[in-house]
Amino acid sequence: MVSSVETLEFQAETRQLLRLVIHSIYSNKDIFLRELISNASDALDKLRLESLTDPDLGADTSDLHIVLEADRDARTLTVRDNGIGMSRDELVELIGTIAKSGTAGLLQKIKEAEDAAAAQHLIGQFGVGFYSAFMVADKVTLRTRRAGTASGTQWESDGEGTYEIQAVDGLPVGTSVTLHLKPVDSEDGLADYLAEHKIRQIVKQYSDFIRWPIRMAVERTTGGAATGTGSEEGSDTGSDTDDVTTHEVETLNSMKALWARPRSEVTEAEYNEFYRQISHDWLDPAETIHMRAEGNFEYEALLFIPSQAPFDLFSRESKSGVQLYVKRVFIMDDCEALMPNYLRFVKGVVDAHDLSLNISREILQQDRQIRSVRRRLVKKVLGALKSVRTKDAERYAKLWDQFGRVLKEGLLEDTDNTEALLELVSAESTHDKAKKTSLREYVERMREGQDAIYYLTGETRAMVENSPHMEAFAAKGYEVLILTDPVDEVWADQVPAFDGHRLQSIAKGQVDLGDAADGDGDAEAGARRDEEFAALLPWLTSSLSDQVKQVRLSSRLTTSAACIVGDAHDMTPTLEKMYRAMGQEMPPVKRILELNPAHPLITALRSAHAANADDPALPEIAELVYGSALLAEGGDLPDPARFTRLLTDRLTRGL
Ligand code: ADP
Ligand code: MG
């Protein structure tokens, strides 16, 4: 029995929004189903909750579910739930108007937005939910009966400005939304939404973890013995003869949102299985992080640290591994707003309860709450890594092997977490050839009076170990970190300090090992030496002015005659090379030649210069001293042929 029909107008803002939604705000029309299923799921939640608090409601909550019905003849798709339903007034209030505050102002801005992208950006700030049905339907019929009431209401609209509303008797409690589908038009993004495979695909993609069953009658062709794979409740066909097409009801979604269950109820095997599903990895994860935040921004997060790095970790296409859900509805893959780039190896799911389903990547990036979620997740991941290090050094060593390089990117990107990241750094060191060290262990071994953490960068461990820069440090028993990854040079230079100790390259600046006890550092002796070399140094500086900016005496050498060092704030040769490789133009950075005043070659050079400052052999020897120092640190000679000729001449004359 149908009572009188009332025609009502959409609220002005609603009309505008409808137009926007229908006319190409969305590139992906499939999401209408996600929106309708999400509404149905909310309605089921509400009914369950309300019948708990109000036992007189008299609603049947024994089999709460969602049903999808595709009708080829009528070209309709219906989403039906047996949830809370809506009263007539609620219907007008909820569907006929946009109740959300600030909508009118927002629409004004959308109208003023120059293009579709800007409009979408704005519209992402609130849900359009139900209206998305009009992207795929030219008419929508909604029938609903509120739990606890006797009669129902029908609402119908073509989305053009008015809707009709009328009372309907005999409806079950709950809501059905019937879409009269527009014709299939692949150019316009309109798929065949009646096709079973299409419906399955959308449900799997967006609504798999909805906690209520999403059912659909599916066709099954059976030959001989009937198979009932995957169905929750097969219909009785009673026939198992030749090929027959039967209809049976199947639940399309898995409903298993592991992250929403209490941690104590999930087994390790279940976590691992879930990890393998979302990561397409076949190894178990190294670490599992499961957390829940309550309060004004609720979310659950289930994150995994893989045991092995993916092959494309350093490719440009490598993406963030975190998926975003909103109340168990899938929103997006690769949610870079939730995990910084340097933690792109972390896989998992974040389910935020208080976001709009329609949220865009751009909005997420700016959202204050999302940023605070991200900060918390980063702290959790870094904390988990740290705790592996404390508990199981061997396991940590493996993780560092896999992810150390990408974590070091964090030292450049994420200055908020410098200290936590430095706690994770593992480096080779002169202390123990067989084992890498943490900075913390280094600091514990620091000598009395040592204030800096010393390091030297180079291509290989052997090159670093045998570098002239190392001599005095080795002689005096100072530990030096051996950094051989190109990125080391960058972070070690940028990081201010660890635990109050600055990081100091032993190939840069002046070295003062401050050890007066062994006499060399003695101030008086130093002054005497300076005087002895007062003539040679300026002469050498000008003779080698094309190559170096200064020649000075060294306190870092014991056996080598000379070495080359950088000024404290100059760019290192490796960095220079890196920048050039990236196509950056820059003037060559000149460094400093340091001489070992105790070396026989240097004292002989001093005497020769004192005897005859115009000796034509002197500039050639200066060049050889510089060239050898460059070779010793693994550098490239600008003119190797010339160097070899000078050296050969010298050797010949010497024999
Ligand atoms: P949102 O879900 O973000 O609130 P929608 O446009 O999707 O926005 O839905 C508007 C409102 O209409 C919902 O908040 C809900 O109150 C009501 N509604 C929509 N679908 C249903 C349904 N299937 N059952 C009960 N109420 C519904
Ligand atoms: Mg909704």
**How many Cα atoms occupy the beta-carbon half-sphere of 410 within 13 Å?**
26
**Which atom belonging to ligand 1 lies closest to the Cα atom of 35?**
7
Distance from residue 13's CA to the centre of ligand 1 (Å): 17
Which one of the ligands is nearest to 132 CA?
A: 1
Which one of the ligands is nearest to 155 CA?
A: 1
- The predicted model gives 202-221 an average pLDDT of 91
Q: Which of 238-242, 313-317, 506-510 has the lowest mean pLDDT?
A: 238-242
CA-based torsion, 181, 186, 192, 196: positive or negative? negative
Q: Which of 9-13, 73-77, 295-299 has the lowest mean pLDDT?
A: 9-13
- Atom 23 in ligand 1: which residue has the minimum CA distance? 40
Q: What is the pLDDT of residue 126?
A: 52
d(CA 391, CA 389): 6
The pocket around ligand 1, CB under 6 angstroms, is made up of 35, 39-40, 43, 81, 83-86, 94-95, 127, 129-130, 175
- The predicted model gives 308-336 an average pLDDT of 85
**What own/partner pairs with CB < 8 Å and gap ≥ 24 does 322-325 have?**
322/346, 322/347, 322/348, 322/349, 322/350, 323/278, 323/348, 323/349, 323/350, 324/349, 324/350, 324/351, 324/352, 324/364, 325/209, 325/257, 325/349, 325/350, 325/351, 325/352
- Assign 109 a pLDDT band (cuts: 50, 70, 90): low
d(CA 480, CA 488): 14
- The predicted model gives 110-121 an average pLDDT of 62
- The predicted model gives 83-98 an average pLDDT of 86
Q: What is the pLDDT of residue 110?
A: 65
- Atom 20 in ligand 1: which residue has the minimum CA distance? 39
Q: What is the pLDDT of residue 228?
A: 47
Q: What is the pTM of this model?
A: 0.73
Q: Which of 99-108, 177-186, 576-585 has the lowest mean pLDDT?
A: 99-108
Q: Which residues of 167-199 are buried (b: 16+ CB within 10 A; e: fewer)?
A: bbeebebbbbbbbbbbeeeeeeebbebbebeeb
Based on its alpha-carbon atoms, the radius of gyration of the chain, rounded to whole angstroms, reads 37
Q: What is the pLDDT of residue 101?
A: 47
Q: Where are the alpha helices (DSSP H) in 188-289?
A: 196-207, 268-279
Dihedral angle, C-alpha 278, 282, 286, 292, nearest 10 °: 20
d(CA 83, CA 66): 9
Distance from residue 129's CA to the centre of ligand 1 (Å): 7
- Atom 27 in ligand 1: which residue has the minimum CA distance? 39
**Which atom belonging to ligand 1 lies closest to the Cα atom of 40?**
23
Q: E strand or H helix at 95, and its extent? A: helix 88-95
C-alpha of 422 from chain center = 19
- Please choose from 18, 42, 64, 123 the residue to mutate so as to test ligand 1's pocket, defined by most ligand atoms within 8 A of CB: 42
- Atom 10 in ligand 1: which residue has the minimum CA distance? 94
Top-confidence residue, 286 or 127 = 286
Structural domains of the chain sorted by starting position, each given as residue range(s) with its CATH number in brackets:
6-222+242-251 (3.30.565.10), 258-389 (3.30.230.80), 425-506 (3.40.50.11260), 523-654 (1.20.120.790)
Q: Which residues of 609-633 are buried (b: 16+ CB within 10 A; e: fewer)?
A: beeeeeeeebebbbbbbbbbbbebb
**What own/partner pairs with CB < 8 Å and gap ≥ 24 does 193-202 have?**
193/33, 193/70, 193/77, 193/136, 194/70, 194/71, 194/72, 194/75, 194/77, 195/70, 196/70, 199/33, 199/68, 199/70, 199/77, 199/252, 200/252, 202/30, 202/33, 202/34
User: Does 518 have pLDDT greater than 60?
Assistant: no
What value does the mean pLDDT of the chain take? 87
- Please choose from 17, 47, 78, 130 the residue to mutate so as to test ligand 1's pocket, defined by most ligand atoms within 8 A of CB: 130
Q: Where are the alpha helices (DSSP H) in 280-367?
A: 361-366
Q: E strand or H helix at 525, and its extent? A: helix 523-532
- Atom 21 in ligand 1: which residue has the minimum CA distance? 39
**Which atom belonging to ligand 1 lies closest to the Cα atom of 95?**
12
**Which atom belonging to ligand 1 lies closest to the Cα atom of 127?**
3
**Which atom belonging to ligand 1 lies closest to the Cα atom of 84?**
25
